[in-house]
Structure 1
């Protein structure tokens, strides 16, 4: 899932630090997500809103695993 978050961050030219400031999620928590921790639904909603994408955007990568 982090790959999709990173793509959206790159597209917005946004750092993890800025994402943390916008969402209110600690940057250490975001770094944990980058290392593989699963974010809560509440935090994924905050991230999606901050990156101006739908939650479905993050499901792209997951749906490839199921096929």
Structure 2
């Protein structure tokens, strides 16, 4: 009778461990995908900065250039 309780507890722990392993695999995959996205976005930012280098260097602006056309 005492062994049945231990066996049930052991089985419960094994089930929990199995679920934890699955969750860990899912989390690792999520982190991997997020890192891929971060890397891709970082490359896109670099490309955009190369396309418009003067905007990233704080080029002097004329306030008249920023007025809407109806003024």
Report the TM-score when normalising by structure 1: 0.20
More helix by share: 2
Report the TM-score when normalising by structure 2: 0.19
